[in-house]
Each structure stands twice: as C-alpha cells, then as structure tokens.
Amino acid sequence: MCGILAVFSPKHSSVDPIKLKHAADIMYHRGPDGRNIWHDAKRQIGLGHARLSIIDLHHGHQPLKNQDATCIAVVNGELYDYKRIRAELQADGAVFRTESDSEILLHLWEKYGAECVHHMRGEFSFVLWDARQEVLFIGRDRFGIKPLYFAHHQDTWYFASEVKALKSLGVPLCFESTATMLAFTYGLCDSRTLFDGIEQLPPGHTLLLSKSHSSLKKYWDFNYPLRGETSKIDFQDAVSTVRSHLLESVKLRLGADVPVSVYLSGGIDSSVLAGMAQQVSSYAPKCYTVSFQDANYDELAFARETAQQFHLPLQVVSVSDNDLAEHFSEAIYRSEGLIENPAPIAKFLLSREVHRNGDRVVLTGEGSDEIFGGYPHFRQDVYLHNREGQDPAELKDFQEELTKANALFSGGLMGDFVASGQKDFDTLLGFTPMIYKTISSTSERVLGLFDEFSLVAKKKDSLAKMFLSSFEINSQMAGRDPLNISMYLWSKSFLINRLLRAYGDGMEMSHSVEGRVPFLDHKLVEFVKTLPTHFKSRGLTDKYILREAAKPFISESIYRRQKHPFSAPVMPTGSKSRLNQFLCDTLKSHVMQRMGLFSKKACNGIADHLVNPNSPNETNIEMFALRMVSMAILQQKLIEN
C-alpha cells in the first residue's frame, strides 16, 4: 500500500518537480518509507510515489522502470500470485530489477497492452507511462479497494491517491452542491466525489491517455446472472467451493515480507478470517479489536472467544467518548469522507495501535455483506420481492423478529410502506430496495438542512433519478434477482465510498497500515454471484452459505450470531459528552456558513436539539450532525487550509 500521483500535460511543459515532490510528501502517512518522483525531459509527464514497504523491503522503490526505461510506473496496493506470473514472464524473456510484486505490471503491459489488467489479481491502482507509444495508462482494481482520484484542469490531467495531493498539485477544491445532496441521501456512485471537477476512476476501469485522445474502458463488473439463470450447483458443493476460494484468498493475502495481523470483531466475517489465517499461516497472526463501554456496542467477549479458540494474541483498544471527540477532526481530514456514526474514528485509533506496535498489514472483513447479502435491509428485500427457494416456515413473524434482532439497524428497518420518492426506483428497477425506500422517506427532511431550500426543493424529486442514472441499469440490473440488484447498487456506492475509502483505507492509511480484503477477491466473488439468492439469505439467517463454509473455523456462538454492525455508541441527545459538545460547537461555528451549503437555522436547530431535545422520539439527528460536521472539517482542514 502506498500513495501514487501523476501529472500529464501533453500541450504544455508544465510539470513542476517541486509541486510533484510536495504532493508526494503530503501523502507521507501512506508512504513513510520514502517519497520519489520522476518526470520526462520535456516536463510533460511526471510521476510520484510515497512508499510503504511490504514486499522487497529494500529494493522495491518506485517509480518502477523496465529494462530500457521506456515504461515507468507507480503502483498502490498488492498484486497477488505475482511469483507465478513473474516466472511466466521471465520465461518469455522479461528482465526484472526488483523482487516487488508491483513490477509485474510493466511486463504485463509490454506483453498484453491494455488487456494486462485481466491478468492482475488483487487490490491496486496504478499509472504507467509508455514513452515509445507516448500514452499514459491508468487502472484501478475491480472493487475500488484502492483509491484513485483525477481531474482535468487547464489542459492538464492530474491523478492521486488522495484529494489533498491533487490540491497540492494545483487543482482547485470546492464542494459540489448536487454531489453533496446525493451523499446526504442516496449516496454517490463509484465515479463521483464531493468535490467539483474531481472524479474517481471507477472500479474495474482503465483510462488510456495520449496527446490527442482519452479512452475510458470497463474491464470488469459483477454481471449477475439473469433471474432464473443462477447456478444449479448442489448446496453442499457450493459450500465447499466458497470455503476453498476463501481459504485461497486468505492465503494469498498473508503473503508479505512483514507479519500480517487481523482486525477482529465479534462477527462471522473477521472471525473466519482469523480462523483461516491461523490454519494457513506459519505463525499465529496477531489480532486487534476495539472495545466500547456501552455493552450494546461492545464485542470484546466474542473477539476474545475467537482469539482463545485459535490461540491468537489479542490486542484490545478501549475507545471512550473523549477519544472520539479528540481525534474526530484529524480522522475526517485524513479519510476525506463523511461519517454517520463515530465507528470510523474508533477504526482510526485501532490503526494507530497497529502502527505503534510496529505492524503494517491487516486482514479486514469488508465486502462480505455486499456479496453474501448480510445487511438486514437485504433480507427485507428478499422477504418482500425475492422469496424463491425460501421456506415459508422460516419467514413466519419475519418483520417483528428481524427488527428485534437488529436494534442497531432500526433506522433502516421500517417495514413495507410507500415513500414519496420511490417512484423512480419502481419505474427503473421494478421495485425499490428497502434501504433506498427508507432514504426516500427522509429525503425531504435531509434537504431541509441545505441553504436556498427553494432551489433544493426543485431538485428533491429528481435526486433518485440522478442517483440511478449513474448506473448501467440495462446491462447490470435489468432482469436480475432483487437481492442481487440491491447488492449491486450498494457495492457501487456505499461500499466503495464509505466502507472501503472513508472507513477503511482512509483510517488505516492515516497510520501507514495496509488493509487487505479477502472477501473482495474477484475469483471468490465471480463464484458467489452465480449462486441462488436463497443460498445467501435464508429467512432470518444472513450470509447463510458463508456460515456453513466458515463453520470449521468459528465457534458455535459466532456461527449462530446474527449480523452485528461495527458501530460506536451514539451519544444520547441532551448528554454533556465531549463529543456531543464538539458537534454542537462546530454546527454553530462560522465554518458552517462559509461552506454556503447548510442553512444557519438548520445548523442551530440540530445543535440545540442535541443539547435540549425537542422530542424524545426524534430520529437521525446524530446522523445529520455527524455528516454536517464531517463537511465542516473538510472545509476547514482540506479546502481552506
């Protein structure tokens, strides 16, 4: 894991080495082991790299060059199974300069051209300059695990792992109002950001640039099967195959020249990773877990149970309300995203502990819910729209039992109802996924937070359509099972922007920690996507097939436990907690008005409600407050600083 950047100015000699070096230094937290830059003689192309040493600790410095220095590349992430690929390339005559996994990119490009990404397995983003063809080749992994932002500004292309590096290169920063409204409601798609003129390279895409041409190309997508055309595989055979794929994925992600640890909660996802890692590793991987004082959120007992079962060392990080308040601003600035629960701040502190202990690689459980249908709102979609293969007896008293078992998800479990903004979903998808129905029902309240509400009101009925227009409905969702449609939308919005970037990469790399995501191995996902929906969600049981596949590697209590979100305690309204006071003070500060996004009345109203609640049944106040304060931090520390 590293930080990368590039500047391509085909019409001007405008690459500034000083700015390039400064932008690399801005990402020192991503690469504490050295920052290097390269530019051509004409200063039309420049590359930069901030290195976190994981493989080939002493010789894998970047930018990487091929034998005659005609291809130069910077890579962020890990390319798995690289030793086999390297041997095949060497048999074809390729000469390697390092033992780094990243170097295979250069020779895959020379052999396969733009099709080289089909031969890459892992979590990556990269920029490659081919001087012979005078083309810049940019790519990102299939799921968007590794970030890559870009802007085309004044005839120059800019690329970087973080927005703050783009700003350092000279790209202007300001919030884009429509994107902000979407982020506060349905979410951003996989190519948008909060910032005007700044995009993400979508996952599973490459971008080819020359002096006169640009070509964005998709090389991978989920491609769920049409309804009724899912695999006919026997369930037990499917269980064995899932287990085999996941074991292979874990084994590949344990490959490093440094020890690999595990982020362990009390859920099935991290528990099975710990169990599998213990079996296939030559050492006992260290586990790290967060503990909260509130018993409703604390999972320490379950984490200890797994650690003791497999004789794994467990490091516990206790996080208090004061800790969340003290580190809120720094964590938001580093992650460059919004939060609606304080849990990512706890992840920030967990990663700090990993760094303090001298560790730098962890396995994490993100992605499991998106491919196995883990969230409660996915199970509601199955209950309402996708009951094929379900046992009617297991659906008895479904809504009541689901709500009872998922108190922490109560905001998204509102049952079957009609929401004012769902017509676009119904028209375009044939149904409205439960999570978006819930969002639709609260969107008018959310938009009431924004300034110039009379203008916003004209947009409120089109936000759902704008959100959906970002996706390939005909090729990726039309004719698919409702559960698969819901998972697809969620993976292309919340997973990439919140879980993988703001909650994952942003918090981990703040402390030079590389997160590896075994559930988002494309070979595992390509198998799971073909399975019938009732293999994934069965009555009240989430991730049914994963539970069966994981059974030899988890305890009985973990096996039977329902999905428990990684959430931090939300401060009760009216509390005098330090975090609550921090939110109130920020909401009433001048920075909220300098953004020009939120109405002063709304900011003051939410702040007042946090201290003196108007109604004990008021919902979503904390979520609104956390998102708005996140924006204020980004305004102050990223845009204005």
Residues identified as active-site: 2
Phi–psi pair at 346, nearest 5 degrees: -65, -40
Q: For the purposes of burial, counting CB atoms within 10 Å of the CB of 641, is it exposed (0-12), middle (13-18) or buried (19 or more)? A: exposed
Q: What span, in angstroms and rounded, lies between the C-alpha atoms of 347 and 428?
A: 37
Pairing mode, strands 122-130 and 45-51 = unpaired
Cα-only R_g, the chain: 24
Angle CA(304)–CA(308)–CA(310) in degrees, nearest 5?
A: 125
Q: What span, in angstroms and rounded, lies between the C-alpha atoms of 583 and 579?
A: 6
- Identify any residues that bridge with 554 across adjacent strands, giving them in sequence order: none
* CB-CB contact of 252 with 517 (8 Å): no
**Which of these, 526, 640, 549, lies nearest to 593 by C-alpha position?**
640
Q: What span, in angstroms and rounded, lies between the C-alpha atoms of 449 and 161?
A: 31
Helix (H, G, I), strand (E, B) or coil at 290: strand
* CB-CB contact of 140 with 204 (8 Å): yes
* CB-CB contact of 215 with 468 (8 Å): no
- Identify any residues that bridge with 139 across adjacent strands, giving them in sequence order: 126, 206
**139: which 2 tokens?**
């790519």
* CB-CB contact of 561 with 602 (8 Å): no
Q: What span, in angstroms and rounded, lies between the C-alpha atoms of 17 and 23?
A: 10
Q: For the purposes of burial, counting CB atoms within 10 Å of the CB of 452, is it exposed (0-12), middle (13-18) or buried (19 or more)? A: exposed
Cβ contacts of 229 within 8 Å, gap of 6 or more: none
Q: What span, in angstroms and rounded, lies between the C-alpha atoms of 573 and 529?
A: 42
Q: For the purposes of burial, counting CB atoms within 10 Å of the CB of 412, is it exposed (0-12), middle (13-18) or buried (19 or more)? A: middle
3-state secondary structure string across 354-380:
HHHCCCCEEECCCCHHHHHCCCHHHHH
